[in-house]
A and B are shown apart, each in its own frame.
Chain A
Amino acid sequence: MNPVVRGVAVYLFLLVVFRIMGKRSLSESTTFDFVLLLIISEVTQQALVGQDYSLTGAFILITTLISLDLIFSLIKEKFHLFGKIAEGVPLIVVDQGKPLTKRMRKCKVSEEDILEAARFHFGLEKMEQIRYAILEKDGSISIVPEKEKASIK
């Protein structure tokens, strides 16, 4: 099969599947996610290359993937809604120290995940010390500490 068609098909399929799986799947946070990404990359490699081991085939595939990425970034620039749908938008999961549990359940984020991010970035100890926790587009959690409480020793 034509490498361009293969490249486009694999790229689009992976894009849709990862969006369906949800944000957290890409953040490589657990062993399960790591194993999943490892295996998926191996399977993808076979589907992309097939039996074509030529240098030209590899160049065509790389060009295809980079062009697709470029095209998508141009579309995202032009149509903001497309970018929001394709990549998602950030979601606030903690507001003024209060975990927003319904949101957290929907996007599979636990309180432990948030506390881990809070410890990692700011050395925070408790949920009350977090002003905002945001689940970013790439699946990572960013923390805005509560100013006064963060400084309490």
Chain B
Amino acid sequence: MERIKPSLQLKDDIDLHISGWIVQRIGWVLLLLLLIAASLGVFGTGWLSAGHVAGKNGTVSFERIARFETPMKLVVQIEKADGDIEIRIPRSYLDCMEIDKIVPEPATQKAAGGSAIYTFDAEAESTITFYLMPESTGSIHTELTIDNTNFPIAHFIFP
């Protein structure tokens, strides 16, 4: 690097600039890593954040990683339904997760035993989508009960 002695009343602090440029290069690498991580879904809505839980009568797909107040989906697929489908969601989960919409709409819904219970008219193969909005940050663990089978679900919500 060129070192000069200017007649200007200005301190030519080139050493500080050199260390600054090194930090800048490290920063560029970190920005690139952040971009790659975000594209892969480290911060939600991507390949790494997709979660699935399979049970004996169906599967639940959800976002393992999501962001605060950013809409996400939880999809329940029931392969063989015996009569109506009953989905129990613990109250503690609904305290941190707002349900914006359920498609199709449940035939009945009630609160009992610390859970919200939704029942749906079943067909041979059903897909039920919950549109959710995280209302708190950090780890959220719960168990959905679908026709007496438990599906453990965990999210990490970024601020």
Interface residues of A (CB under 8 A from B): 1, 9, 16-17, 19-20, 22, 50-51, 84-85, 88-92, 95, 100, 102-103, 106-107, 132, 134, 144
Contact = CB atoms under 8 A, between A and B. Distances in A.
Given A22-B24, A89-B16, A132 B8 contact: yes
A90 B10 contact: yes
Contact of A103 (B1, B27, B137): B1
Nearest to B20: A88
Contacts of A91: 12, 14, 17
Contacts of B8: 92, 132, 134, 144
B4 interface: yes
- Chain A at the B interface: mostly helix, strand, loop or mixed? mixed
B6 A95 contact: yes
A134 B6 CA distance: 11
Interface residues on B, range: 20 to 34
Contacts of A92: 4, 6, 8, 10, 12
A88 B18 CA distance: 12
Interface of B: 1-2, 4, 6, 8, 10-14, 16-17, 20-21, 23-24, 27-28, 30-31, 68-69, 137, 159
20 contacts: A1-B159, A16-B27, A20-B27, A22-B24, A85-B16, A89-B16, A90-B10, A91-B14, A95-B4, A100-B2, A100-B4, A102-B1, A103-B1, A103-B2, A103-B17, A106-B21, A107-B21, A132-B6, A132-B8, A134-B8
B147 to A, nearest CB: 36
Contacts of B1: 102-103, 106
A84 B16 contact: yes
Q: Which of B12, B21, B68 has the most CB of A within 10 A?
A: B12
Nearest 5 A-B pairs (CB), nearest first?
Answer: A20-B27, A100-B2, A95-B4, A89-B13, A106-B21
B7 to A, nearest CB: 9
A61 B14 CA distance: 38
B2 A84 contact: no
A1 B68 contact: yes
